[in-house]
A and B are shown apart, each in its own frame.
Chain A
Amino acid sequence: NAGVMQNPRHLVRRRGQEARLRCSPMKGHSHVYWYRQLPEEGLKFMVYLQKENIIDESGMPKERFSAEFPKEGPSILRIQQVVRGDSAAYFCASSLKKGQSTDTQYFGPGTRLTVL
């Protein structure tokens, strides 16, 4: 049973370009969470999605950032017109079903975005 997969593992972009980060949840998981971790800092919640729905995007910047989790395919975190401050590790987690006692989030290896 493969774990949460993220790609690419490393992504380099120049200022103003777009970054697309992909997350494939664990098999059977329909809930996906995205977190951002700045260098030497903790993890900050960005967005929580269920298939085809954004449930909570309270942690995501209002501009330039968007996320989706289509019916088919991976979840995508998209950052438009990247700036140097977007350089960070972006982690995706998935869970089986929110609100249940065993609703544990399992994390992927992360995508390290570097903006030049």
Chain B
Amino acid sequence: LAKTTQPISMDSYEGQEVNITCSHNNIATNDYITWYQQFPSQGPRFIIQGYKTKVTNEVASLFIPADRKSSTLSLPRVSLSDTAVYYCLVELGTASKLTFGTGTRLQVTL
């Protein structure tokens, strides 16, 4: 069964860089990889999207290797307000089945 997996949780201190990886072995050929941030009792909020290599915006970077079977969300210099659950979203397989990753709960402390 094709899955999209992430580490369950990560801890970081404020000011550090955090890298969260998503494994998606069966990603659809033409699909983009999207990352979302979710706070309790809120809807997911778009962070960044990419297809291959590296994408950077004002809040994060996204690294995608050539085989596209994984992707890494990089958050530079996290703050307490970055404490949230982070999800990747991809389409898997030839049927292009939309699949969220298992989610990574990031806890940032002082």
User: A residues near B, CB below 8 A?
Assistant: 4, 33, 35, 42-45, 48, 56, 58-59, 89, 91, 93, 99, 101-110, 112
Contact = CB atoms under 8 A, between A and B. Distances in A.
The bracket for how many chain B residues form the interface is 20 to 34
Given A33-B98, A43-B87, A45-B100, A110 B34 contact: no
A42 B103 contact: yes
Interface stretch (B10-18, B42-50, B58-66): B42-50
A58 B97 contact: yes
A91 B100 CA distance: 13
Contacts of A102: 49
Nearest to B45: A107
Given A45-B97, A107-B43, 20 more contacts: A4-B43, A33-B98, A35-B100, A42-B87, A42-B100, A42-B101, A43-B87, A58-B97, A59-B98, A89-B41, A91-B44, A101-B32, A102-B49, A104-B46, A104-B49, A105-B34, A106-B46, A107-B44, A107-B46, A110-B42
B64 to A, nearest CB: 14
A110 B102 contact: no
A107 B36 contact: yes
A104 B47 CA distance: 10
27 contacts: A4-B43, A33-B98, A42-B100, A42-B101, A43-B87, A45-B97, A45-B98, A45-B99, A58-B95, A58-B97, A59-B98, A89-B41, A93-B43, A93-B44, A101-B51, A102-B49, A103-B32, A104-B34, A104-B49, A105-B46, A105-B89, A107-B36, A107-B46, A108-B43, A109-B43, A110-B41, A110-B43
A109 B44 CA distance: 8
